[in-house]
Amino acid sequence: MSDAKLCLIDANSLFYRAYFAIKAQLVTSSGQPTNAVFGFVKMVNRILDELKPEYLAVCFDVSRVTHRTEKFADYKAHRAPMPEPLLAQVPAIKEVVRAYNFPVFELQGFEADDVIASIVHKTAKLVGKVVIISSDKDILQLVGPNVEVYNPYKDDGIVFTEEVVKDKFGVPPVKILDLIALMGDASDNIPGAHGIGEKTARELLADFKDAEDLIKNTDKIKRARVKKIIEENIASIRLSRELACLRVDVPIDVRLEDLKVRPADTDKLWELFSRLEFKGMLKGLSETRLSLAHGPSLNIARKEIGDPAELLKRIEEKGFFAFFIDADKLTDDRVSVNLAVDEDGVYETQDKGFLKRLFSKSDCTAVGHDVKKALHILSRYSLKPKNVFFDTLVAGSLVESSRGARDLESLLWDLLKINGVGRLDYLGKESHFLFLLKKELDAALKDKGLSRLFFDVEMPAVGILFEMEDSGVAIDTVFLKKLSLELDKKLEKITGKIYELAGCTFNINSPKQLSDVLFNKLKLPVIKKTKTGASTDEEVLTRLSRDNELPKILLEYRQISKLKTTYIDALPQLVDEKSGKIHSTFNQVGAETGRLSSSNPNLQNIPIKTELGASIRRAFIPSGGFDAIMSADYSQIELRILAHLSQDPALIEAFGEDRDIHRHTASLIFGVDEKDVSSDMRDNAKRVNFGIIYGMSSYGLAKDLKVPPQTAQVFIDEYFTRYPKVKDFLDSQLVFVKKHGYVSTILGRRRYIPEINNANMAVRSFAERQAINAPIQGSAADLIKLAMVDTARLLRKEGLDSRLIMQVHDELVFEVKAKETDAMIKLVRSCMERAISLKVPLKTTISIGKNWLETEEVS
């Protein structure tokens, strides 16, 4: 016998545990679940690193039909089928095993445990130690002098030796089989003797040799109740022992030399991990296993431009070029750009005259990464590109929306399969890889039907967003400072009132101190608890304010304090010294629905619902040379999109006749004429309308309406009775997403929703709500961008100076010149209402005023 170690892996046990242990739904960019594969690979690597076996084998179950189910049809019958997302990962798990060159054993009619037992029976005497990797209890019957069971998922990993088994279960490994025979095993539906628990079973086995010895000597059982149970369950005990007993005679051909651990097939591992997008694992493969030969070469030639005119001619003939601005080489008067025209090499230039001619070629496509950022840099050097752009940042996000904004290194990894590349590895060669990325992304856009959305909407939007950021928004800082002082006085009064009602002074902004005052000193009821104690969040204070004045005043204090710190005091600090304006950053990638967001400041969150919140908009004013602020807002755009997508006749008719859709819905739900709809009815119908769009359940709607769930369900049922095609559309979306893993907008934008088949009901329900809302919200996002593009194009064509300065949800905000007001109203309304053809008319509300708040609607 050698001192070698043999590891036997119960694959099914391992990947089941991996699937449920990794709660996050890991998926590829195409929506393929990978959490079980990921956990399985991590565990295999851990086994190899920690146990360092000389021999290893992997055993799989084949099906649920085994010799045990032939004896007892209810064996494991209570177990749910393997979850679909896990079942989908089994082929990849087997590919992993083959790529590691592990021998695999599986046989119809036998479980993996039987196969393991048979291998142990044939090889245990030939090696120094056998380690079985499994979390199954019945496998413990195999533990012996040189056989251990390693459960990696119990207590951060536990090794069951003979002593550990005896300590944990009160019986030696040889009696585990009898322990299960007596007490049964609920996980496998092994019946045992009903009424005998683990404690009693252990006591019995301490007095008898095994279960059969117990059955033959029931007269020696001291407790009458236990004696009766055993005598009444003799057949069940014998059946249970037979079911739990692992077979050692499975007809498999096992030779120890065939189980020897061999080097993994790194080419297969590379291909597999790349497909599964296991970036960390690929980077973890050693240089001896993997080289950069799997991806494009980093040995890129640096070329001299030579004759600039000749290079420009080549670029014109090619029709596109890739460029990258080296931010580290920027000086006060020079910008360094590296260029690629083909795959043969890169050029670097700081020649401003050459760059001006290069970027003036409107018939050439310029390929870059984060083009908007590049435009800001180029503008500092008076370079204003006129090229058509291909932004790999935006294209990468559009092709794989779940990945968000990926930096260049990530894209090189994901699409070109260059492993372990750091910034220094491709420094000065970026344009070469952008050239290659363009080919990959172009093909992916075409394959997914996203070319029109990318070229007609997203790419023109890059330039528009740059112009909006560059223009900035003028802010009335004098007004904000005056408002801040007024709120300081108001907060001072509110603070005094809070101390008076509390009967003490304390730090109002400290949740711990506030909790002590509310629940210990004033004895208010605890509504909700957190890890640190009783919660004092907005929901809790709102409920407490129904019966107590202090929580109500605390809510007012928080509202004013938050608005003051977040906007009123913060906005003046963001004003640029040179321009005297704020320059928010508009984020084009990141939101899977395609919605724009903004930061520094976040314009999307400028409040509107409260009087104080809305007053902040008064600070947004036209800049010098402009006379007014014009707001153009889509009316009920998401409901109109719902009507278009669902093709519901009643909904289409209501919009076609320009009815108040919420009043119309209320009349249908409550069965009254529209003229008899009360304000409460309309408000409830409005909440139902938008609740449907967001996939709201009866419970969620009930909470929103402050009615019982049964009442909310009646509203929902009535809604679908009146708008049956809406229900059909929503149901069809769920069927589609469960089959394909994604949903699409009108213009084809995809949102992948991998959690749609999650075993966790809460996670799955949230995914279903996303699947319902994404096509509607995403279509609205596409539409507003399309309107921006059309508007900007016509502004240039008509030679108007008025300009777009903000985009907030479904609203476009312009600063206009007085002499252009009529032309702007006509132009903007036309662009927004004709941006796309729907089965219902698009409607835009346009208002004009001296600031963003004080505007009046115009016809």
- Residue 821 has what pLDDT? 97
Using DSSP's 3-state secondary structure scheme, residue 756 falls into: helix
Arithmetic mean of pLDDT, 268-280: 83
Is the per-residue pLDDT at 598 higher than 70? Answer: yes
CA count, 13 A, side-chain hemisphere, 592 = 18
Residues contacting residue 762 through CB under 8 Å, at least 6 positions apart: none
Can you give the pLDDT at residue 429?
80
Identify the pLDDT of residue 292.
40
pLDDT digits (tens, 9 = 90+) for 507-533: 999 989 999 999 999 999 988 887 778
Average pLDDT score over residue span 40-65: 90
For 181-240, how does the pLDDT look when each residue is reduced to its tens digit (9 = 90+)?
899 888 888 888 888 988 998 888 888 998 888 889 988 888 889 889 888 889 889 998
Q: Which of 92, 418, 89, 90 is nearest to 279 (CA)?
A: 418
Q: Where are the domains of the chain?
A: 5-165+247-259, 309-472, 474-581, 638-743+752-773
pLDDT at position 288, please? 37
Q: Flag whether pLDDT at 476 surpasses 60.
A: yes
The single-letter code of the amino acid at 9 is I
Euclidean distance between the first and the last CA atom of the chain, given in angstroms as a whole number: 95
Which band of pLDDT confidence, cut at 50, 70 and 90, is reported for residue 40?
A: very high
Name which of 10, 13, 5 is nearest 124 in CA terms: 5
What is the pLDDT, as a whole number, of residue 280?
76
Q: Residue 302 phi/psi, 5° resolution? A: -95, 125
Residue 595 identity (one-letter amino acid)? R
pLDDT, average across residues 259-276: 86
pLDDT in tens, 773-783: 999 999 999 99
* Fold annotation for 5-165+247-259: Rossmann fold (3.40.50)
Model confidence at 131: pLDDT above 80: yes
Stretch among 278-287, 488-497, 667-676, 686-695 having the lowest mean pLDDT: 278-287
- Residues 6 or more apart whose Cβ sits within 8 Å of residue 23: 760
State how far Cα 230 lies from the chain centre.
54
Is the per-residue pLDDT at 285 higher than 80? no
570-589 mean pLDDT:
94
Burial 367-398 (b: 16+ CB within 10 A, else e): bbbbbbbbbeebeebebebebbbbbbbbbbbb
For the record, the structure tokens of 608 come out as 């509107």
Amino acid identity for residue 70 in this structure: E
- The answer to whether residue 2 scores a pLDDT higher than 70 is no
Q: Is 539 exposed, middle or buried (0-12, 13-18, 19+ CB in 10 A)?
A: exposed
Q: In the numeric block, which tokens belong to residue 105?
A: 């054993």
Instruction: Give the rounded percent of residues in the chain with a pLDDT score beyond 90.
Output: 53
Quick one: average pLDDT of 597-612? Answer: 87
How do residues 162-182 score in pLDDT, each as one tens digit?
999 999 899 999 999 999 989
Predicted local confidence at residue 232, as pLDDT: 87
What the block records as the tokens of 59 is 């055993």
Over 600-653, what HEC string results? CCCHHHCCCCCHHHHHHHHHEECCCCCCEEEEEEECCHHHHHHHHHHCCHHHHH
Six token digits for residue 376: 């800001």
β-partners of residue 804 are 814
Query: In this predicted model, what pLDDT tens digit does every residue of 710-763 receive, in sequence order?
Result: 888 988 888 899 899 999 999 999 999 998 889 999 999 999 888 787 766 777
Give the right CATH number for 309-472 from 3.40.50.360, 3.90.1530.10, 3.40.50.1980, 3.30.420.10. Answer: 3.30.420.10
Q: pTM for this one?
A: 0.71
Which residues are CB-contacts of 234 (< 8 A; sequence separation ≥ 6)?
A: 215
Query: Highest mean pLDDT range out of 18-22, 45-49, 297-301, 584-588?
Result: 584-588
Q: How far apart are CA 178 and CA 214, in angstroms?
A: 10
Question: For residue 757, what pLDDT is reported?
Answer: 78
Residue 302 contacts by C-beta under 8 Å, 6 or more apart in sequence?
345, 346, 347, 348, 428
Lowest mean pLDDT among 54-68, 400-414, 642-656: 400-414
Question: What is the reported pLDDT for 291?
Answer: 42
Tell me whether the omega of the peptide bond preceding residue 145 falls within 30 degrees of 0, making it cis: no
pLDDT of 98 strictly over 90: yes
Q: Determine contact, residues 732/722, Cβ cutoff 8 Å.
A: no
Q: Does residue 806 register a pLDDT over 60? A: yes
- The answer to whether 259 and 56 are in contact (CB under 8 A) is yes
Question: Is the pLDDT at 398 greater than 70, yes or no?
Answer: yes
Provide the pLDDT confidence category of residue 692 given band limits of 50, 70 and 90. Answer: confident
Query: For 638-743+752-773, CATH number?
Result: 1.10.150.20
pLDDT, averaged across the chain: 89
Q: What is the C-alpha to C-alpha distance for residues 502 and 525, in angstroms, rounded to an integer? A: 15
- Compute the distance between CA of residue 207 and CA of residue 214 in angstroms, rounded to an integer: 9
pLDDT in tens, 416-472: 766 544 444 556 788 998 998 999 999 999 999 999 999 999 999 999 999 999 999
User: What is each CA distance from 404 to 391, 588, 603, 751, 784, in whole angstroms?
Assistant: 14, 10, 20, 11, 20
Q: At what angle do helices 35-51 and 90-99 cross, to 10 degrees?
A: 30
pLDDT digits (tens, 9 = 90+) for 621-643: 999 999 999 999 999 999 999 99
AA identity, residue 80: A
What is the pairing mode between strands 811-816 and 855-858?
unpaired
Run of H or E including 378 = helix 371-380
pLDDT in tens, 288-328: 343 444 445 566 778 888 888 999 999 999 999 999 998 77
Exposed, middle or buried by CB within 10 Å (0-12, 13-18, 19+), for 206?
exposed
Q: Do residues 603 and 805 make contact, with C-beta atoms less than 8 angstroms apart?
A: no
Q: Choose among 644, 668, 641, 664: nearest CA to 654.
A: 664
* Domain 474-581, CATH among 3.30.70.980, 1.20.1060.10, 3.40.50.1260, 3.40.50.300: 1.20.1060.10
**β-strand 55-59 against 104-105: which pairing, if any?**
parallel
Question: What pLDDT score was predicted for residue 297?
Answer: 56
Residue 669: the pLDDT is: 84
* Beta carbons of 190 and 71 less than 8 angstroms apart: no
- Gap between the Cα atoms of 113 and 119, Å rounded: 10
Alpha-carbon Rg for the chain, nearest whole angstrom, is: 35
In percent, the amount of the chain with pLDDT more than 70 equals: 95
H or E, element range at 533: strand 533-534
Q: What is the pLDDT of residue 697?
A: 82
Give 87's pLDDT tier (boundaries 50, 70, 90). confident
